[in-house]
Structure 1
């Protein structure tokens, strides 16, 4: 695609997602698909859900366009089918809650489609297995981390920006990254700074799957070592979701049930605005985009070493912030009990 075509793509994706989100909000209100406030949620007013269907519809169109234009369309077709599965089960869950295990089964099938496409394209089996695990993981991580206004969408936008830093805008990965950036940009004003509609499971899980798909597409264009660099901007979400999950499992809690124990949720409980917390998570992701651009041309040892150092840094920050929030919560509790 040339520059003018990419600009046209971004415009169409933005307008499509904006109009789709507006329609999705009207539909959700008419069908009473509304998330009520509660102890396991971080919002204070009833808010419609399912707005992510607008991003999904836009990206299904972008994937279909990519498959039509590609000389070897199988990866795009596999990603399209996988996205339809993830979005479909999320859409059903937004209307009628399903068990986490039934959703996970569909996620596994969708991830397998992506992995099979990579093997068909000549990628090594270990890389296909890694993308399979990444797809299953990101679908669920984005679902876990979509708990406050704007955070899941902005993180997805920064991850898509990293794809452009690594692979450039001209190939399939760049085309899809631009479409995702624009589609998320069309949805974001409805979700931040004050949410008028949530992504819903249809949107959050789909964003995670799309990001795994972008990693797969990028690896076909620039090779697997540069594609590893795309793990840099995922660190804030992966670390918070993973360490919170492990801590809940160690405490013997029902770790698959909704909760408000992630660090980003604790920060909101401590009195920080949703936009402030989302912005705080965006800072390391933005730094990571710069890292992607500077390391994409380096060899595997350099990229892997930098990834290990980066994730250790994010883990250290996670523990420090969580400890500070715990001390603040304990101090507030003591003050309230004394009063």
Structure 2
């Protein structure tokens, strides 16, 4: 496997344990600081529950990245091949994670304006692309494709900001965000590993391991919520993982988008429906499909099961059909099949969202609530 010794994967359980320990400690901290989410009209839980447990994910990921930093400096053996990034890119990733986490941590404690949060998210996206941006600026005059590259970087920044906020929107019931993130990250790590990019695979697996350590505290019964400190960072990590997967398998650039289809369609369709109906789309609400399912009588476990069922019964077969999950990932035929698979998955997801919403509304009317 390019760029990493297989022994590094033996370290991953340690990051699961570290995340779990830190999450457990955060419960006591949240109670002492009264960081409690109380039930309300715009919330989907029935009991007061502490928030901010995502700090365990953040610290575990940063610790793993710092360990990588030692490897890049030659202090640890990282395999014979050069890894997929340099120290500057690693530093910018840690800075971006820290910025999103700090803003989320403050918001969990005393609240921040939407403008400040969004500005920080944009700054984090720029930090991720800063090494490439500096390189592009140095060669701007001599590079005829510089304009296109700048446009592509802008699109990437928009994608990162949307991913951060999308995953924050979808963190509203027990276990949904953590389960989805673990699924997506494991799939992307596997694709990178099959493409021979063990370096990217290990880092994405680190993200999954840190999230997995948090999961038992949030599902099936929530002892603590992830909070903005965790949900925003998880969104950032998913965006970064998709970027690495695209770099590892350019012909199958759509694989990551297929993997996140459940969250992407629910968030995007909900946002568009609120905008088109003239409502304050930026205000807090309970109109995502997963929230409507809970409001219409589904349990948190049942709702998470529906989303994971989508991943297992639709996403995985689509990825397998286009060749993203086998050792030949990235072949040219997979590009055509992958595009077809992505269109089919998203079309089916939109139909499922529409009919799911109608089902929930109809059931609410029948129940008279």
TM-score, normalised with respect to structure 1: 0.92
Q: Verify the 8 A CA contact 2:58 2:101 in the aligned structure 1.
A: yes
Contact 2:245 2:256 in 1 (8 A): no
CA RMSD of aligned residues (A): 2.0
Mapped partners of 2:6, 2:27: distance in 1: 33
**Alpha-carbon separation, structure 2, partners of 1:225 and 1:126:** 20
Q: CA deviation at 1:117?
A: 3.6
Pair 1:89 & 2:103 matched: yes
Aligned residue for 1:232, secondary structure, equals: helix
How far the C-alpha of 1:209 sits from its partner, in A, is 0.2
CA distance in structure 2 between the aligned counterparts of 1:176 and 1:311, rounded to whole angstroms: 28
Alpha-carbon offset, residue 305 of structure 1: 2.8
Could you say which residue in structure 1 is the equivalent of 2:358?
323
Q: Which residue does the alignment assign to 2:185?
A: 160
1:213 aligns with 2:213: no
Question: Is contact 1:163-1:173 (8 Å) kept?
Answer: no
What is the aligned residue count?
332
Structure 1: distance between partners of 2:115 and 2:317: 37
Q: Distance in 2 between matches of 1:214 and 1:137?
A: 14
* Structure 1 counterpart of 2:330: 297
- In the alignment, structure 1 residue 245 sits paired with structure 2 residue 271: yes
**Residue 266 (structure 1) shift:** 0.6
Deviation of 1:125 after TM superposition, in Å, equals 4.0
Answer yes or no: is the 8 Å Cα contact 2:250–2:330 preserved in 1.
no
Instruction: Give the superposition deviation at 1:269.
Output: 0.8
Question: 1:183 — aligned with what?
Answer: 210
* TM superposition shift of 1:324: 0.9
Contact 1:18 1:186 in 2 (8 A): yes
Where do 1:1-339 residues align within 5 Å? 1-8=4-11, 10-70=12-72, 72-119=86-133, 124-168=149-193, 171-220=198-247, 222-286=248-312, 287-293=314-320, 294-295=323-324, 296-299=329-332, 300-333=335-368
- More helix by percentage: 1
1:51/1:198 contact within 8 Å kept: yes
Give the deviation of 1:162 after TM superposition: 1.6
Separation in structure 1 between the aligned mates of residue 123 and residue 297 of structure 2, nearest angstrom: 40
Gaps spanning 5+ residues in structure 2: where? 73-81, 137-145
C-alpha change, 1:145 and 1:85, in structure 2 (3 Å) is same
Check the 8 A contact 2:185/2:207 in 1, yes or no. Answer: yes
Structure 2 distance, partners of 1:77, 1:199, is 25
Q: CA deviation at 1:2?
A: 2.9
Q: Aligned equivalents of 1:309 and 1:116: distance in 2?
A: 35
CA distance in 1, matches of 2:254, 2:67: 26
CA spacing shift, 1:61–1:77, aligned 2, 3 Å: same
Aligned match of 2:139: none
Distance 2:330 2:220 in 1: 37
Unaligned runs of 5+ in 1: none
Distance 1:125 1:193 in 2: 44
SS class of match (2:254): helix
Deviation at 1:276, TM superposition (A): 1.1
User: Quick one: structure 1 residues 274 and 283, their matched pair in 2 at CA, closer, same or farther if it must change by over 3 Å?
Assistant: same
User: How much has 1:280 moved relative to structure 2?
Assistant: 0.8
* More displaced 10-residue stretch of structure 1: 15-24 or 243-252: 243-252
Structure 1 residue 246, shift from structure 2 partner: 1.1
CA distance in 2 between partners of 1:80 and 1:226 (Å): 27
Residues 19 and 29 of structure 1: CA distance in aligned 2, closer, same or farther (over 3 Å): same
Q: What TM-score results when the alignment is normalised by the length of structure 2?
A: 0.85
Larger Rg: 2
Q: Tell me how far 1:19 sits from its aligned partner.
A: 0.3
